Structure 1
Amino acid sequence: MTAGPETQVKPRSRNRRVAGADPDKRHQILEGAHAVFTARGFDAASMSDIAAAANVSKGTLYVYFQDKEHLFIALIEREREKQKQGIYEALADDPDLAHALASFGERLVRLITGGFALSAQRIVLGVAERMPELGREFFERGPMQGTRRLAAFLQRRVEVGELAIADAGLAAAQFIDLCQSTLTRPRLFNAVSVPPDDEEIARVVGSAVTMFLAQYGVRKPG
C-alpha cells in the first residue's frame, strides 16, 4: 500500500543545519557580542543589544546561547584560542631554557596587557562576587590552564637536570607573576592607558627569567 501525500515524509535537506550549529551565524553573534561587551561592559549589555549588533533576532540568539553569561564565556574562549597557541609554542622544543622562558613570558604579557584581555578581566572581576561560577570558569580556562602548561614544561626540564624544583605548579605561578610585575596592574586599573612596548616587556621579562633561574636553575660544574 502506497502512503498518501498527507503521510509521506519529506526527505531532510542535506544543506539544512541543525539549529544552533551554523558556524557563520555563531561567528556573526560573537562579533556583535564583542562590540557590545567592549562598549558597555557585562552588566549594561543586554541580549537585545547583542541581537541588534549581530543583526539577528532574539530568538536566533537564544538558539545559540542560553544566556548572556554563556555567550560571554564563549566569546572569551574564542579570543583566547586565537592567541594562546603562539604562547605555548614558545615552550615546545626550544633547547635554550632561558630563551624559551623569555619567549613564553613576553608573549603572555602581550596577551594579558592587550585591550580585549583587560576588558574581559574587568568584566569578570566586576561580577565575580555575585556570579562566582563565571569567575571560576574564567580562571580555570585561562590563568589556571596557562600555569599548568608552564608547570608541565618546567617539570620536563627538572627531569633532564636543568632545574631543581620541588613544586612545579608553584614555580610556574611565580614565574608568571614575575613577568607581569609593573605591567599588568596599572593597565588593569587604567592607570596606564596604552600597552607596554616590546622594549619594556623584554626588560621586565628578562629580569623575571634571571631571578627565576637564580632560584631554580642548576649550575653546571666547571
Structure 2
Amino acid sequence: MNRNDKDQTEQDAPPRRGRGRPQLRSDDETRALIYDAARREFSERGFAAANIADVACRAGVSTKTLYRLIPTKLALFEGTVTDRMDRFISAVNLAACDGRDIAAALEAALSTCGELILDAEVIALQRIILADSDKFPDIAEMFYEKAMQRTLGALAAWLGVQQRRGRIAVDDAQAAAGMLLGMLVFQPQRDVMYGHRPPPSRAQIEARARACAALFLSGCAVPADQIKKQSGDA
C-alpha cells in the first residue's frame, strides 16, 4: 500500500472512540431513578419495612451513592413525594397558561389532579401513612404538607388565575378548590382504598373531570325563566 492509499484509508475510517470511563449520570438524574424505585418499594412494603438496599438495587445504584444523595429513609420518602408533586404542579401551571376555553382548561386541570390523586402508587402511599402514622407521625405531617396541601394550593392558584382573567367568579379560590377536589376524587379514592374497585383508567378520570367541570361552571339549578315557563305549561 502506497502512502496515498494509506492516507485515504485513514480518512475513510470511522473516528476512534476516546478511552476512559463512560460519562456518568448527573446527581439529578440519579435522584430521579432513586425516587421512582422508592415509590415502588414504599407502595409495596410500607414505610417501616421498606429497605434502602432494595431501593438502591431497584434504581441500579450503590447503597453508598444513595446515602450520599439522600441520607435518611424519611428524607427518601419526602423526596419521593416532593418529586412527584413538583411534576404535577408544573403540569397544572402550564395548563393555566394555555389559550383554550375555560371549560376545556378546567377539564384538563382536573384530569391532571385526578391522575395524581387516583394513581395506584399514590393511593398505596396513603394506605401506608394511615397504617404507620401512629409509629411515624412525621410521614403523616410531611404528606399532608407536601402532597395534600400542595395539590389544593395548585388548584386554588389555577382558579385564581382564571378569576383574575374574568372567566369565573368565586368568593374563595381555596374553598372552591377543596370542593372541586372532593367532588372529583372522594368516591373513587375510597372505592380503591377499601378494595371495591381498581384505580380508574385515564379515560374514566377524564370523564369524571368533564362532569365535574360542567357541574362547577354551570351548576345544577334550572334558570328562573325556564322554571317560570315550566310552571306556565303545567
TM bucket by the smaller chain?
0.7 to 0.9
User: Which residue does 1:10 correspond to in 2?
Assistant: none
User: Which residue does 1:187 correspond to in 2?
Assistant: 192
Of residues 109-118 and 187-196 in structure 1, the stretch that sits farther from structure 2 once superposed is 187-196
> Does 2:221 align with 1:208?
no
Distance (whole Å) between structure 1 residues aligned to residue 88 and residue 165 of structure 2: 29
Distance (whole Å) between structure 1 residues aligned to residue 93 and residue 74 of structure 2: 27
> Does 2:159 align with 1:154?
yes
Distance (whole Å) between structure 2 residues aligned to residue 160 and residue 48 of structure 1: 50
Distance (whole Å) between structure 2 residues aligned to residue 151 and residue 83 of structure 1: 14
- Partner deviation per Cα, 1:126-157 (whole Å, 9 max, x = no partner): 22333333222222222222222222232333
User: Which residue does 2:146 correspond to in 1?
Assistant: 141
> Which residues in structure 2 correspond to 1:2-151 (within 5 Å)?
22-23=27-28, 25-54=30-59, 58-151=63-156
Matched residue of 1:203: which SS? helix
Identical aligned residues as a percent: 26
Distance (whole Å) between structure 2 residues aligned to residue 203 and residue 71 of structure 1: 34
Higher relative contact order (CA 8 A, sep 6+): 2
Distance (whole Å) between structure 2 residues aligned to residue 197 and residue 73 of structure 1: 26
Contact 1:111–1:117 under 8 Å retained in 2: yes
Of residues 172-181 and 123-132 in structure 1, the stretch that sits farther from structure 2 once superposed is 123-132
Matched residue of 2:153: which SS? helix
Distance (whole Å) between structure 2 residues aligned to residue 85 and residue 160 of structure 1: 20
Distance verdict in 2 for CA 1:33–1:164, change over 3 Å: closer
Q: Which runs of 5+ in 2 are unaligned?
A: 1-23, 224-234
Contact 1:158–1:164 under 8 Å retained in 2: yes
RMSD: 3.0
TM-score normalised over the length of structure 1 = 0.72
Distance verdict in 2 for CA 1:106–1:113, change over 3 Å: same
Distance (whole Å) between structure 1 residues aligned to residue 125 and residue 182 of structure 2: 19
- Partner deviation per Cα, 1:69-111 (whole Å, 9 max, x = no partner): 1111112222333444333322223351111111111222122
Count of residue pairs the alignment pairs up: 197
Contact 2:96–2:161 under 8 Å retained in 1: no
TM-score normalised over the length of structure 2 = 0.69
User: Which residue does 1:163 correspond to in 2?
Assistant: 168
Distance verdict in 2 for CA 1:34–1:212, change over 3 Å: closer
Q: Which runs of 5+ in 1 are unaligned?
A: 1-16
> Rg larger in 1 or in 2?
2
Q: Which amino acid aligns with 2:215?
A: M
Matched residue of 1:90: which SS? helix
- Partner deviation per Cα, 1:159-218 (whole Å, 9 max, x = no partner): 4443332211101111111122432221233321243350x3233222212221245xxx
Distance (whole Å) between structure 2 residues aligned to residue 178 and residue 136 of structure 1: 24
